[in-house]
Amino acid sequence: MPKITFIELEAQAEHILDAEVGMSLMEVARNGGIAGIPGDCGGACICGTCHVHIAQAWRERIGPATDIEVATMEFSEDVRPESRLGCQIRITDDLDGLVVTVPSS
């Protein structure tokens, strides 16, 4: 089971969660009680409340945000080149060790 590290900037906390293959990163965060990732639209890519920053070492493997993600993040705060929407990232075994940061908002 891949392990994903979530760093919560506001709480200055780090959580390592077991992630089920096939779930989205947003679902892993929500199930694990990560603050700042409510996933209000349930993964439909319309709310932007699953915004995360991908750690530098993982950016190439995860890839850039799609056009629809970029449009959805238009009103999000602290959008960077490493920004992605967690609902659009599907957990695979290859993502074991992934590190993401939850932006302050």
* Lookup result for tokens 């993401």: 100
Among 20, 40, 77, 96, binds ligand FES (CB under 6 A): 40
CB 20 within 8 A of CB 9: no
Q: Which stretch binds ligand FES (CB under 6 A): 1-9, 37-45, 60-68, 93-101?
A: 37-45
65 near ligand FES, rule: CB under 6 A: no
Among 28, 52, 85, 102, binds ligand FES (CB under 6 A): 85
**Interface with ligand FES, residue 101, by CB under 6 A:** no
Residues 12 and 85: their CA atoms lie apart, in Å, by 21
Alpha helices in the chain (DSSP H): 25-31, 59-62, 67-72
Interface residue with ligand FES among 4, 19, 26, 95 (CB under 6 A) is 26
Position with the least CB separation from ligand FES:
87
Angle at alpha carbon of residue 49, lines to 62 and 33, rounded to 5°: 85
Closest CA to 88 of 97, 71, 80: 71
48 touches ligand FES (CB under 6 A)? yes
| Binding positions for ligand FES, rule: CB under 6 A | 26, 39-41, 43-50, 72, 85, 87
